[in-house]
Chain A
Amino acid sequence: MALEIVKPGLATSIQDLGRPGYFHLGIPQGGAMDRLALRAANLLVGNPEGAACLEAVFMGPQIRFKRDVSVAVTGAELPVMLDGEPRQTWTSFTARAGQVLSFGFLQAGARAYLAFSGGIDTPPALGSRSTYPIGALGGIDGRNVEAGDELPLAEAPLADEGRHVPENLRRMPGCPATLRVLPGLYWHRITEASQQSFFDDTWTVAAEADRMGYRFKGGRALEFVPRKQPFGAGADPSNIVDGCYSYGSIQVPGGTEPIVLHRDAVSGGGYFTLGAVISADMDLIGQLQPNTPVKFERVDMDQALAARADRTRVLSGVRELLA
């Protein structure tokens, strides 16, 4: 074994780019909430960009190395220390056998990605090492890491030290954060006034914000277009006949608190959804701390695709830099 978890942090999990293909059975794609940060971390240490990393939430773990390993930490600004000596984030460095990696207090963002040369080599489940605790899949026995766990790494040469991703190739949310939304799905269920207020109001990230979904509060309650509820939908005006949920879709149970479904989304349910956060902004959600103010910005499909292309250019820039 190459790594020993001395302290696990808050909800540190093994993640890669996930397991698409099983959503029709209620098994979500999973994988890193900030995919760009995970890819960058892997490329910094010479891994394939989808290798398994640790995703640390709000707080870093403490890890003892059992052999020499290249390390990179990306995503949230979480001060990195090796045997107590500061190391830079978004920069590769070498840890020697016996050294201990630890972290200071979170300064910005919410999730840090810890890549190790070779990549974490736990057994894949349905094609991915990503941890999905609800379904007991991936990770270590389907759970997050715990103190005393030992993690294997695949064999790989050490990467050069000091490989670095500059700030112009990173993407972090602003304050207030802006999340671009394409209206659709059951958008017609709310009144014009509520369609307007949803985008006008400033929302804040609620405490219930995890890999399944992010909840927001503080905006005006949404009002529904009156109708006789269809058979099988349930009595509440926010109910529909249970249907599929899109990744990024925004449900508003009872019209009060929007929930944006993320990588570990439930695959369906009986709440109306008013549209979805565009694919280009999904990574940003993974970097939002509770209480962060957020504005939803209305975009059309052309703008969504332009944003997606822009994001692809950032990724290409990282790939070229670290090739």
Chain B
Amino acid sequence: MKTRYTFGGDEHIYVEMDEEMSLDAFFKSLSMSNAVREADIAGVTEICPANASFQVRFDPDVISPDDMLARIQDLEHKADAAEKRLATRIIEVPVFYRDPWTHETLMRFRERHQDPNATDLEYAARINGFDSVDAFIEAHHSQPWFVSMVGFVAGLPFLYQLVERERQLEVPKYLRPRTDTPKLTVGYGGCFSCIYSVRGAGGYQMFGITPMPIYDPDQKISYLRDFMVFFKPGDIVKWKPIDHAEYDRITAAVEDGSWRPRIAEVEFDLDEFNADMRGTNAKLMEALDGA
């Protein structure tokens, strides 16, 4: 990993930990963006962590760009020395794979897809070397995921799977982006899964839909009353496959206020994970079962 610093106009500094995605790059970007926040530097207006990079917005009338850059660079050794451990939470997110709504949408945009004669899931399963869509879906939900970035649009999480590089699923984005994606679609592009927080344009392949709202500007949904955005970087997600009946049951329960996601507080240690991925993941999922 080699850190690269660059200006985005006269109000932003962009710091790239690595060109390629890895948990190491994600952890370093998260630690460094936290260090910048804790340093409480006058003139900083926004701190945005991303998958393998982060960005600081500042007011150049308060602190000069060169001084801002020097202050951030000074914090790099702190991030290097920081323990790669995170007190976080694991959340079970129900997913209705092969649902009728994303199916209807993907059929409407077939001419923008790499393989117009297959569904997004059939295509993704094939290019990742799976014998069946079921086996691919199993690979998508059997091991947990890290929320490595929140953004694009309101509250949308990007997720990175906690498995070895050679087991990572990879799919391209649509050839041309769709003009429509159902709200709460579970999507996939590059090595990232995502949940579309709102309806709108999108280029990620569509695998299914969750009945769990993750963005509520009215703050009426029971678990979004404190804040309208559910996810933050560092959250861990375990997908749980559900069928149509369960989807309908949860949707109704969300509406009447009786449903909340299953959540457990956990610690995640990157070194421990790198030493024993399956064992670490098993512990994370056990914590969820006890919640």
Which chain A residues border B158 with CB–CB below 8 Å? 242
Binds A, one of B95-103, B138-146, B148-156, B272-280: B148-156
Among A20, A23, A273, chain B packs the most CB atoms within 10 A around the CB of A23
- Whether A24 lies near B151 (C-beta < 8 A) is yes
Say yes or no: is B47 at the interface (Cβ < 8 Å to chain A): yes
Chain B interface (Cβ < 8 Å from any Cβ of A): 6-12, 14, 16, 18-22, 45-55, 57, 60-61, 64-66, 149-156, 158, 160, 165, 168, 170, 172-173, 189-192, 197-198, 200, 215, 217, 229, 232
CB distance from A209 to the nearest CB of B (A): 16
Task: Known A26-B153, A232-B20, A268-B149; judge A244-B190 contact (CB<8 A).
Answer: no
Query: How many A-B contacts at CB < 8 Å in the complex?
Result: 181
Task: Known A243-B16, A268-B48; judge A27-B8 contact (CB<8 A).
Answer: no
Please pick, from A24, A185, A248, the residue contacting B14 in the complex, using a CB distance under 8 A.
A185
Q: A232-B52, A234-B189, A276-B7 are in contact. List 19 more A-B contacts (CB 8 A).
A: A21-B46, A25-B229, A134-B154, A134-B198, A185-B7, A231-B21, A232-B170, A241-B19, A241-B190, A243-B55, A246-B8, A249-B8, A249-B12, A269-B152, A275-B9, A276-B9, A278-B10, A301-B10, A305-B10
CB distance from A305 to the nearest CB of B (A): 6
Please pick, from A125, A241, A246, the residue contacting B52 in the complex, using a CB distance under 8 A.
A241
Q: How far apart sit A184 and B14, CA to CA, in the bound complex (Å)?
A: 9
Provide the A233-260 mask, 1 if CB < 8 A to any CB of B, else 0.
1110001111110111100000000000
Say yes or no: is A177 at the interface (Cβ < 8 Å to chain B): no
Which chain B residues border A187 with CB–CB below 8 Å? 6
Task: Known A231-B21, A231-B191, A242-B50; judge A182-B55 contact (CB<8 A).
Answer: no
Q: Which residue in chain A gives the minimum CB-CB distance to B190? A: A234
Please pick, from B8, B46, B53, B65, the residue contacting A248 in the complex, using a CB distance under 8 A.
B8
Q: How far apart sit A300 and B200, CA to CA, in the bound complex (Å)?
A: 37
Which chain A residues border B52 with CB–CB below 8 Å? 232, 241, 243
CB distance from A17 to the nearest CB of B (A): 13
